[in-house]
A and B are shown apart, each in its own frame.
Chain A
């Protein structure tokens, strides 16, 4: 297999499917047998935690699940830890979805929060209301921000929202905070039509791919706090003293990152060693 170029060629041209096999092993191993590697708490997460702590009992939070089921897998630690804080504080939640797959999420999320719901007697209809899929496009977000009750009359089960804590909401400005969990669906629209227009503080729990973009919004003051990916969720779990899926995943994360670094180093050594030995000018070592 190595032929001309020896070990260097092998290092540069090994079958890329080995990367998947190694990643599968280094992720699965620590999840089954956790190692317990240490983690630090970033300034971003400390700020997110501090912002959530500004909420008082009875405050109404617009809790927007702008994620598909796949995105939820990455955001799960942050979603669960944030909701534990909301439940503990007695915050009222108006939950909306930005994707039709959102309908599968309440069952999954509240099942995992059952202990907390029971402990604080936190009930649907009284403490939280799920208004369902309400963000198909920007016009819908803008309309809802302007006149809440003209756009939302029933919850996701078809029950009227009249006579609930949502009577206090006339427009987006009546929410005390927006807590968004996003893979990038209606989040920009919400920043445009709720934050910019009504000045509602918005905290964001974002998937890793979107973090650089949201950092700019945080810097510009459009977001008040940002929780970055699973890592942020794990840090929040640590801060609230309730270990969950995030902290459990951190070993797998760390080993996954180490393996990528090793693959990059091996590939580069192989490429340069191979091209130097053979005098080849071809810059594409990967087959």
Chain B
């Protein structure tokens, strides 16, 4: 029984994924809506359970262990629920303000180092370390930083050498954008390849994968051609 349930979960999972992929066909269809709403429902359910477990493990167990200050966390959390009632939504402002304030304080205290000072320190380094390739890397970073920074000088008209360095900076940015796009494509393809690998391994999944892909593809075409997609879709 347990094995059958696991098998059924895998097969239904594969079919739902391909139903979701029918969005690539570019036309509304109920199959995609079904898959999307199934995911949303399941994800919401899981998130509620996990969040409640987190509150229990962190706050309730903490209070039981004598950490009474956590009572305020519970009260603040409950005050947040007043957002749902239009007449009393102002009650939620206090915990919200507290959350934003602590978040900002925590973030500012560290971000200034990790995103700013330490990053600048890492850029201002000795160029020559005795390794020619390392020299090339460091020189590239130094030239890129300086020229790109001149591109972002807004308070004066760029002319002479500054105009040239800003132009060089602009083209270096284009190269950088290209690199980031390639990395992004690799990442997105990685998601897809990883998923396809999981639905083709072990090999008994392959027929179900191919069947799901073909069924969903044909269904998307039929829904489009017959006009049923528009009619039955929730969008």
Contact A28 B196 (CB under 8 A): yes
Mark each residue of chain B from 51 to 63: 1 if its CB lies under 8 Å from any CB of chain A, else 0: 1011001100110
Partner of B200, one of A32, A136, A137: A32
Whether a CB of chain B sits under 8 angstroms from the CB of A265 is: no
Whether a CB of chain A sits under 8 angstroms from the CB of B1 is: no
Q: Which chain A residues numbered 228 to 287 have a C-beta less than 8 Å away from chain B? A: 229-231, 245, 248-249, 252-253, 256-257, 260
Shortest CB-to-CB span from B146 to chain A, Å, is 17
Contact A142 B54 (CB under 8 A): no
Q: Using Cβ atoms and an 8 Å threshold, which residues of chain A touch B122? A: 216, 219-221
Contact B200 A153 (CB under 8 A): no
* Among listed B150-158, B163-171, B176-184, interface-contacting one: B176-184
Whether a CB of chain A sits under 8 angstroms from the CB of B185 is: yes
Q: Using Cβ atoms and an 8 Å threshold, which residues of chain A touch B206? A: 32
Q: Which chain A residues numbered 196 to 233 have a C-beta less than 8 Å away from chain B? A: 196-197, 207-212, 216-217, 219-222, 229-231
Name the residue of chain B whose CB is nearest to the CB of A31. Answer: B200
Whether a CB of chain B sits under 8 angstroms from the CB of A132 is: yes
Contact A136 B193 (CB under 8 A): no
Q: Using Cβ atoms and an 8 Å threshold, which residues of chain B touch A210? A: 187
The B contact surface, by secondary structure, is helix
Whether a CB of chain A sits under 8 angstroms from the CB of B215 is: no
Contact A103 B192 (CB under 8 A): no
> Number of contact residues on B: which range applies?
35 or more
CB within 8 Å for A196 and B114 given contacts A73-B195, A132-B53, A212-B183: yes
Whether a CB of chain A sits under 8 angstroms from the CB of B12 is: no
Contact A17 B24 (CB under 8 A): yes
Whether a CB of chain B sits under 8 angstroms from the CB of A175 is: no
Contact A245 B197 (CB under 8 A): yes
CB within 8 Å for A216 and B197 given contacts A24-B213, A139-B102, A229-B187: no
Partner of A220, one of B57, B61, B121: B121
CB within 8 Å for A23 and B26 given contacts A139-B103, A209-B187: no
How many positions in chain A have a CB within 8 Å of any CB in the partner chain?
62
Contact B114 A74 (CB under 8 A): no
Q: Using Cβ atoms and an 8 Å threshold, which residues of chain A touch B110? A: 192-193, 196-197
Whether a CB of chain A sits under 8 angstroms from the CB of B198 is: yes
Contact B186 A27 (CB under 8 A): no
Contact B187 A74 (CB under 8 A): yes
Additional 5 contacts, C-beta under 8 A, given A73-B197, A257-B185 = A31-B200, A132-B54, A132-B57, A138-B106, A257-B186
Q: Which 6 A-B pairs have the closest CB atoms?
A: A208-B187, A73-B194, A192-B110, A220-B122, A100-B50, A74-B190
Residue contacts A-B, CB under 8 angstroms, 26 given: A17-B25, A24-B213, A27-B196, A28-B196, A72-B194, A73-B194, A73-B195, A75-B194, A101-B46, A103-B46, A103-B50, A134-B54, A136-B54, A139-B106, A142-B106, A151-B58, A153-B65, A188-B114, A192-B107, A192-B114, A208-B189, A210-B187, A211-B187, A220-B114, A230-B190, A249-B194
B residues whose Cβ falls under 8 Å from a Cβ of A: 24-26, 43, 46-47, 50-51, 53-54, 57-58, 61-62, 65, 67, 99, 102-103, 106-107, 110-111, 113-114, 118-119, 121-122, 179-180, 183-198, 200-201, 203, 206, 209, 213
A residues whose Cβ falls under 8 Å from a Cβ of B: 17, 20, 23-24, 27-28, 31-32, 70-76, 100-101, 103, 132-134, 136-140, 142, 150-154, 158, 188, 191-193, 196-197, 207-212, 216-217, 219-222, 229-231, 245, 248-249, 252-253, 256-257, 260
